[in-house]
């Protein structure tokens, strides 16, 4: 094993990254002036008088997100048009100058409070690109303005789990050129909200590289540090509002973390992926898209590929002009949550007996079926490969197996296979690559009592903290392709 592979195996997540990863699935809310002008990228010149949701109810948003199984919500406090959903002291372009709640409203407050009431995390999206603010392009002045806005959001609304910085910027060759002071933004966030992750144009959570919901088949959390380069993230981000970007994905850099990919790299970081996409074609609400809410089947696919593929899933659901999540979206979110709850309700391995080809003392194989995820199994040093066998006690019918590494020790498994005992011999039925925080294996239904997990390649030695077996909900099977 080369030094760089050993180094890769020793890189571990920060506490804040672990807490974020454990959320797994959370929602995005694109809401603002664009909701009322039927646009995606407002120009920053729309009259604040147009912002007037008639029935805004943030509890309804939170209820819908919880119904889907989401554990957090990120709100577009300011999108590219510069209109602020809170009464910012630093610009007049905000809710205070709208007729909504007679200019006394604060959407950020209402949503932050609703999240707390509902027991989910609250996060903020603040667009660096600002088409309204006159100081944009006058770098120092705008950086100060942006820091002031950040401070307002980071101090007045309780705990924030995520600050999401978008790399999009549509300024053309003759447009304004703003040099963002990212380091100052990050320092302020660390000072005021040390537990918050900084996502996308930030060091903690990596943008998966597209907005279509596509996730790499082997999504490594340990990747070259160069991927944190904000300039590069911006280059790959959206530059024109042509309605196409959110449907594209590129697989040209499909491999970011394999031995091949990190060969020759000197600097590696823990930079786990997030998949962000919208439940509708647009990020903002457009009545014309009421019948284009993604199908349950599509959402399940994205869920399995992201949450089940060592990434997090950030699903955007835009409220309408009333300030409510539309009935069609609520219905889909509820179906999604019901399906996932049903599928993952009964772990058929919960009473299983586990043995391993090799174990380090204190890291017994039985640890992999404990639910609390406080312990794990590992072999002794020198064992890059290992075999674990699970006896479920009786034969069960199943079609999902959930695996999880103990990521506090790093990400190490490079390939594995699953077999079952058919009465005579072991028969292989699934082959996979990485595991990471969570890998959900999907396969056609089968019946077996004994299962075998073979870790065929790993870095230094593998760890495993989770092994669960499920039979998917009937609803899900009906939808399966």
x/- map, 34-73, ligand FUL, by CB under 6 A: ------x---------------------------------
Is the CB of 135 or the CB of 237 nearer to ligand FUL?
237
Q: Which residue is nearest to ligand FUL (CB)?
A: 168
Contact 246, 278 (CB under 8 A): yes
Site for ligand FUL in 276-295 (CB under 6 A): 276, 283
Is the CB of 314 or the CB of 388 nearer to ligand FUL?
314
Q: How many CB atoms lie within 10 A of CB 118?
A: 16
CB of 279 to ligand FUL, least distance (A): 13
Contact 76, 86 (CB under 8 A): no
Is the CB of 40 or the CB of 133 nearer to ligand FUL?
40
* Interface residue with ligand FUL, options 238, 305, 359, 411 (CB under 6 A): 238
386-404 and 466-470 strand pairing: antiparallel
Distance from C-alpha of 461 to C-alpha of 381, rounded to nearest angstrom: 6
Residues, the chain: 481
Element (H, E) at 334: helix 327-343
Is the CB of 329 or the CB of 405 nearer to ligand FUL?
329
Contact 160, 154 (CB under 8 A): yes
CB of 180 to ligand FUL, least distance (A): 15
Contact 330, 64 (CB under 8 A): yes
CB of 373 to ligand FUL, least distance (A): 31
Q: Does residue 130 bind ligand FUL (CB under 6 A)?
A: no
* Interface residue with ligand FUL, options 149, 237, 339, 479 (CB under 6 A): 237
Is the CB of 129 or the CB of 416 nearer to ligand FUL?
129
Contact 297, 232 (CB under 8 A): no
Q: Does residue 168 bind ligand FUL (CB under 6 A)?
A: yes
Helices H / strands E in the chain, number of each: 12, 16
- With both helix axes pointing from N to C terminus, report the angle between 327-343 and 296-306 in degrees, rounded to the nearest 10: 50
CB of 256 to ligand FUL, least distance (A): 20
CB of 247 to ligand FUL, least distance (A): 13
Site for ligand FUL in 243-282 (CB under 6 A): 276
CB of 8 to ligand FUL, least distance (A): 30
Site for ligand FUL in 90-129 (CB under 6 A): none
**Residue written as token pair 């593998």:** 462
Is the CB of 40 or the CB of 389 nearer to ligand FUL?
40
CB of 283 to ligand FUL, least distance (A): 4
Site for ligand FUL in 345-404 (CB under 6 A): none
CB of 57 to ligand FUL, least distance (A): 23
CB of 46 to ligand FUL, least distance (A): 15
Side-chain-side CA neighbours of residue 258 (13 Å): 13
Q: Does residue 193 bind ligand FUL (CB under 6 A)?
A: no
Is the CB of 91 or the CB of 276 nearer to ligand FUL?
276
* Interface residue with ligand FUL, options 24, 166, 204, 414 (CB under 6 A): 166
Is the CB of 40 or the CB of 335 nearer to ligand FUL?
40
Contact 470, 348 (CB under 8 A): yes
E-state strands within 42-82: 72-78
Contact 128, 146 (CB under 8 A): yes
3-state secondary structure of 26: strand
Is the CB of 29 or the CB of 349 nearer to ligand FUL?
29
Residue 116 backbone phi and psi in degrees, to 5: -65, -45
Is the CB of 45 or the CB of 140 nearer to ligand FUL?
45
Side-chain-side CA neighbours of residue 262 (13 Å): 24
Integer angstrom CA distances of residue 122 from 33, 125, 137, 205: 21, 10, 30, 16
Q: How many CB atoms lie within 10 A of CB 170?
A: 15
CB of 438 to ligand FUL, least distance (A): 24
- In the complex, which residues of this chain contact ligand FUL (CB under 6 A)? 40, 166, 168, 237-238, 276, 283
């Amino acid at each position: 094993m080369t030094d760089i592979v050993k180094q890769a195996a020793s890189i571990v997540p920060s506490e804040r990254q672990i807490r974020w990863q454990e959320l797994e699935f959370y929602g995005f809310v694109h809401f603002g002036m664009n909701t009322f002008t039927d646009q995606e990228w407002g120009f920053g010149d729309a009259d604040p008088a147009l912002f007037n949701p008639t029935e805004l109810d943030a509890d309804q948003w939170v209820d819908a997100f919880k119904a889907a199984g989401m554990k957090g919500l990120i709100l577009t406090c300011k999108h590219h048009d510069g209109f602020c959903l809170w009464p910012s002291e630093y610009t007049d372009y905000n809710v205070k100058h709208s007729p909504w709640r007679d200019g006394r409203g604060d959407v950020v407050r209402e949503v932050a409070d609703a999240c707390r009431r509902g027991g989910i995390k609250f996060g903020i999206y603040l667009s660096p690109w600002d088409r309204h603010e006159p100081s944009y392009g006058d770098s120092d002045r705008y950086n100060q303005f942006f820091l002031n806005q950040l401070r307002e959001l980071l101090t007045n609304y309780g705990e924030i789990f995520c600050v999401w910085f978008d790399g999009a910027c549509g300024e053309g060759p003759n447009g304004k050129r703003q040099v963002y002071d990212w380091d100052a933004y990050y320092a302020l966030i660390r000072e005021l909200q040390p537990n918050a992750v900084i996502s996308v144009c930030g060091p903690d959570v990596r943008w998966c590289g597209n907005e279509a919901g596509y996730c790499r088949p082997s999504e490594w959390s340990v990747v070259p540090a160069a991927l944190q380069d904000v300039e590069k993230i911006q280059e790959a981000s959206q530059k024109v509002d042509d309605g196409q970007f959110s449907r594209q994905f590129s697989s040209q850099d499909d491999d970011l973390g394999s031995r091949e990919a990190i060969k020759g790299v000197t600097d590696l970081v823990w930079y786990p992926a997030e998949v962000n996409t919208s439940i509708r074609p647009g990020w903002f609400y457009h009545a014309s898209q009421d019948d284009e809410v993604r199908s349950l089947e599509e959402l399940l696919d994205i869920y399995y590929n992201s949450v089940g593929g060592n990434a997090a899933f950030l699903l955007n659901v835009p409220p309408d002009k009333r300030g409510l999540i539309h009935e069609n979206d609520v219905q889909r979110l509820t179906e999604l949550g019901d399906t996932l709850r049903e599928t993952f309700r009964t772990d058929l391995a919960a009473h299983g007996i586990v043995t391993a080809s090799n174990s380090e003392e204190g890291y017994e194989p039985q640890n992999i079926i404990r639910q609390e995820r406080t312990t794990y199994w590992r072999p002794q040093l020198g064992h890059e490969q290992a075999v674990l066998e699970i006896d479920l006690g009786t034969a069960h019918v199943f079609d999902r197996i959930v695996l999880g590494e103990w990521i506090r020790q790093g990400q190490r498994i490079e390939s594995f296979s699953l077999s079952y005992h058919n009465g005579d011999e072991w028969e292989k039925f699934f082959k996979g690559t990485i595991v990471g925080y969570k890998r959900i294996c999907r396969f056609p239904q089968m019946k077996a009592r004994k299962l075998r997990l073979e870790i065929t390649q790993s870095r230094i030695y593998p760890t495993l903290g989770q092994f669960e077996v499920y039979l998917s909900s009937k609803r899900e099977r009906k939808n399966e392709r």
